[in-house]
Structure 1
Amino acid sequence: MTDTEVLRYTAFSGDPDGGNPAGVVLDATGLDEAAMLGIAAGLGYSETAFLTAPPEGLGGTEGRSFTVRYFSPRAEVPFCGHATVATAVALAERTGPGELLFATRAGTVPVSVTAEGGRTWATLTSVVPHTEEIGPADLAEALAALDWPPAGLDPAFPPRIAYAGARHLVLGAATRARLAALDYDFARLEALMRRLDLTTVQLVHRAGPAEFHVRDPFPVGGVVEDPATGAAAAAFGAYAREAGLVPEEAVLTLHQGEDMGRPGLLTVTLRADDPRVRVSGEAVRIP
């Protein structure tokens, strides 16, 4: 494990001090789950991605298809958007931009990488998403853990659990001030999230027709908050479309990390002819 090269990238920002840091291990051959978890815990980022050879029959271009596993400091997660973007950019810096194919626990995720003017972007395409209702008792427990009164919710945003590779509870904040004042009961929210198999809670405030501010508590991963969450962005895009908050075909801008001092920018693209959601962002190596 000591010989394993761990790269550090930040995703959804062109500034190493912005966005969401991720660890990237481009060759995890020979590492077992305990070793991967140990590396992720030692690094301390919300997720680290580990690449190995693709499963037989995955397809894609030789040398541009991989199996990817994601570990938080506490556990493996089925899919992670920001670590996917970071990994894609790390690969592109070594083999050039273009198309990549990742086999994840959540399913196959295509990623397209573009480079121009010294900047590199990646666009992931999610698995087929869906949403489901949350029961009144579970919603009440979530609000209690967040210390939000029911009046703190935006009635235009129906509370839902949304999935696009991982499960996220989506709650709309009535005001930007409510979103900014995040101070929650870590253990209580973690217990609820484990029971509901949630990866994060996606807290959202609408700033414009296609512009949103978001925050993502992530106690199940061992961190208070995720600075920029691609998986939650994909889930939110599917949720917003299904709830009629945005058109079937739209480009959404999500601002995340501002309240943590790590501003990031996530672009969510919805297509009328495809239920999957595309999430785009820049990534750079952390010196």
Structure 2
Amino acid sequence: MTSDVLRYTAFSGAADGGNPAGVVLDASGLGDDRMLEIAAELGYSETAFLTAPPHGLGTAGRAFTARYFSPKAEVPFCGHATIATAIALAERIGPGDLVFATPAGTVPVSVEATGEGLRATLTSVEPHLEEIGAADLAEALAALDWPAADLDPAFPPKIAYAGARHLVLGAATRERLTDLAYDVPRLEALMRRLDLTTVQLVHRAGSDVFHVRDPFPVGGVYEDPATGAAAAAFGAYARELGLVPDDAVLTLHQGTDMGRPGVLTVELRAGDPRVRVGGAGTRIR
């Protein structure tokens, strides 16, 4: 495996779509400070760093310890960097099952070859929802410059977790979602206090189709182009609130407003609390 910094995009088969991630397949010689430095130099929302797995985790050569760094800090889990890393590995050791030991827990990933290229699907850690206080919600809306009337009443604000914490807010219209211009220091301060990774802004376009955007100031990035961890959290949110069936496949469109369109597939299975998030990916040349 290489210790070079590779560049892949996730949730798109085109190099100029989806969410770019850094991938270091052998980070065994890197300390925390150097990993953070590499992530900051690269400037992507996250870079993934692989080392040897804990004893007994998965099949030899297909199990790894994974850590994720944004330009500002380490994050407990990153979906798009997981997808990107899985595709980078599959190009070298072949498609199939992988397993990552992450700070958030064990995350299995499967990679398959399709007629359109490689596609990876991760299975989240067990998710849960939390309430957000009225004062904190008011502060979030003020930082976003969203009047409360612009919220979709079918989507009650909640904090959703599936490896990282995300505040889910529903936009009543596509226009509300398109018009994103927020107070960076104010939203970042709130997110740090609530230990949020992103704010998941959602507009429902159909029974199983959604448009999403994710401000990510705590990571040093204005907006994340395609957010696998938030997609997993949203899948759990939508199922628990009865917005979708227990068995469902959801399509999330993200990055369109940034000029980096990506598609995230979210699969829910009755009887299994975990959420599966999949998509294409490719190397950025």
Q: TM-score range by the shorter chain?
A: over 0.9
Cα separation, 2, equivalents of 1:88 and 1:38: 23
Output the amino acid matched with 2:176.
R
Matched, 1:87 2:85: yes
Q: Distance in 2 between matches of 1:116 and 1:57?
A: 31
Could you say which residue in structure 1 is the equivalent of 2:40?
41
CA contact (8 A) 2:84 2:281 kept: yes
* Cα separation, 2, equivalents of 1:254 and 1:162: 16
Structure-2 residue corresponding to 1:260: 258
Match in the other structure for 1:232: 230
Tell me which stretches of 4 or more aligned residues in structure 1 moved more than 4 Å. none
Distance 1:23 1:13 in 2: 15
Find 2:216's aligned residue among 215, 218, 221. 218
User: Kindly tell me: are residues 166 and 154 of structure 1, through their superposed partners in 2, closer, same or farther at Cα, counting changes over 3 Å?
Assistant: same
The AA in structure 2 aligned to 1:30 is: G
Partner of 2:50: 51
Q: What are the ranges of 5 or more consecutive residues in structure 2 without an aligned counterpart? A: none
Whether the 8 Å CA contact 2:3–2:25 is kept in 1: the answer is: no
> What TM-score comes out, normalization by structure 1 length?
0.98
Question: Which secondary structure state, in structure 2, belongs to the residue aligned with residue 239 of structure 1?
Answer: helix
2:170 to 169, 172, 175: 172
Amino acid of the residue matched to residue 28 of structure 1? A
- AA in 2 matched with 1:190: E
Determine the C-alpha separation between the residues in 2 that align with 1:116 and 1:229. Answer: 22
> How far apart are the structure 1 equivalents of 2:35 and 2:192?
21
Question: What residue number does 1:193 align with?
Answer: 191
Return the offset for 1:4: 4.0
User: How far 1:74 sits from its partner (Å)?
Assistant: 0.3
The CA distance in 2 between the partners of 1:131 and 1:29, in whole Å, is 35
Deviation for aligned residue 1:57 = 2.6
Structure 2 match to 1:157: 155
Q: Normalising by structure 2, what TM-score?
A: 0.99
Q: Match of 2:243?
A: 245
3-state secondary structure, aligned to 2:205: strand
Deviation at 1:118, TM superposition (A): 5.2
Shift of 1:229: 0.1
Please report how far the alpha carbon of residue 35 of structure 1 lies from its aligned counterpart in structure 2 after TM superposition: 0.4
Q: In structure 2, how many angstroms separate the alpha carbons of the residues matched to 1:211 and 1:132?
A: 24
Letter in 1 for 2:45: S
User: Structure 2 CA distance, aligned partners of 1:51 and 1:227?
Assistant: 23
Q: Secondary structure at the match of 1:208?
A: coil
What CA deviation, in whole Å up to 9, does each residue of 1:161-210 have, x standing for no partner?
00000000000001000000000000000000000000000000000000
2: CA distance, partners of 1:272 / 1:4: 40
How far the C-alpha of 1:268 sits from its partner, in A, is 0.1
Tell me the distance in 1 between the aligned counterparts of 2:153 and 2:114: 42
Report the equivalent of 1:116.
114
Aligned to 2:24: 25
Task: Return the alpha-carbon distance in structure 2 between the equivalents of residues 243 and 252 of structure 1.
Answer: 15
The one-letter amino acid of 1:241's match is: R
Q: Tell me how far 1:116 sits from its aligned partner.
A: 2.3
How far off its partner does 1:252 sit?
0.2
Equivalent-residue separation in structure 2 for 1:141 and 1:244 (angstroms): 27
Q: Secondary structure at the match of 1:113?
A: strand
Once the two structures are superposed, residues 16-37 of structure 1 have per-residue CA deviations (whole angstroms, 9 ceiling, x without a partner) of 0000000000000110000000
Task: From 258, 263, 269, give the equivalent of 1:271.
Answer: 269
Partners of 1:281 and 1:267 in 2: how far apart?
A: 6
Which residue does the alignment assign to 1:285? Answer: 283
The residue type paired with residue 13 of structure 1 is S
The answer (yes or no) to whether the contact 2:215–2:222 under 8 Å persists in 1 is yes
Cα distance in 2, alignment partners of residues 161 and 15 from structure 1: 32
User: For the residues of structure 1 that align with 2:138 and 2:99, how far apart are their CA atoms?
Assistant: 40
Separation in 2 of the partners of 1:169 and 1:200?
7
- What is the CA distance between 1:117 and its match in structure 2? 2.6
